[in-house]
Amino acid sequence: MSFTVSSGNLFMPNANRGTDGNLYFGGQTDNGQTGLRLFGGNVNSGQFFGGFIDVRTTNNNDGLHFRVDTNNGGTERMLITPTEIRTSIPVVNVSDVRVKTNIKQLDGACERLMSIRGVSFDWTEPPRDVGTSEARQGIGVIAQEVEAAFPELVSNGGPNDYKAVNYAGLTAALIEAIRELKEDKDVLRRRIEVLEAA
């Protein structure tokens, strides 16, 4: 049986708790699993309020593939696996001054960064919204420490309200810290030059 929409929109109203507003694609995989499911609305008894895309795989090197380009059939540009996101092109964040207002230079970035540690760690037995499906080593920062220094770089989300860090924003703080260190170095260099000339 097939269903074809030749034009217009496919509208499924009243999505609620996985009962309505869901699309199931792909039938079953070679492993007998549902290939792709799109859930909309309030699903899993309120665990996900915005819905989710569910892709089944038994291989941590496989997952959801994205193809986007002008070629017929497309070229793979991104792959989301159970353990990571892989991209074949740079991930670009819009940073144009035209979309920003109330711009202020960061103050005391170097001192604030001193309260944040760069750490290595082992993931605990991770729930699904940590972003990895198996315990493994990682390198990063602690969200609670970042939040104390730069609260605007930390957000909460998921059913367990885990804290997440905006690493791109943290880069801006590192840039400003380098500027502060250079200014301090220039002051010290001038003082040394004065002393050596005396």
Q: What is the pLDDT of residues 26-56, one digit of tens each?
A: 555 555 555 677 766 665 565 656 667 777 7
Does residue 2 belong to any structural domain of this protein? no
Q: Are residues 59 and 124 in the same domain?
A: no
Q: Are residues 127 and 187 in the same domain?
A: yes
Does residue 150 belong to any structural domain of this protein? yes
- Do 162 and 130 contact (CB within 8 A), yes or no? yes
Q: Are residues 110 and 166 in the same domain?
A: yes
pTM, rounded to two decimals: 0.65
Find tokens 């760069």 and name the residue: 118
Mean pLDDT of the chain: 79
Mean pLDDT of 164-178: 94
CA proximity to 29, closest of 65, 60, 3, 55: 55
Residue percentage of the chain with pLDDT more than 90: 37
Determine the structural domain holding residue 82 and report its residue range: 22-87
Residue 127 confidence (pLDDT): 44
Q: Are residues 116 and 70 in the same domain?
A: no
The full DSSP string for the chain is ------SS-------BTTSSSEEEEEEE-TTS-EEEEEE-SBBTTTTBSS-EEEE--S-TT--EEEE-SSSTT--EEEEE-SS-EEESS-------GGG--S----SSHHHHHTTS--EEEE--S--GGGS-SS--EEEE--HHHHHHH-GGGEEEETTTTEEEE-HHHHHHHHHHHHHHHHHHHHHHHHHHHHHHH-
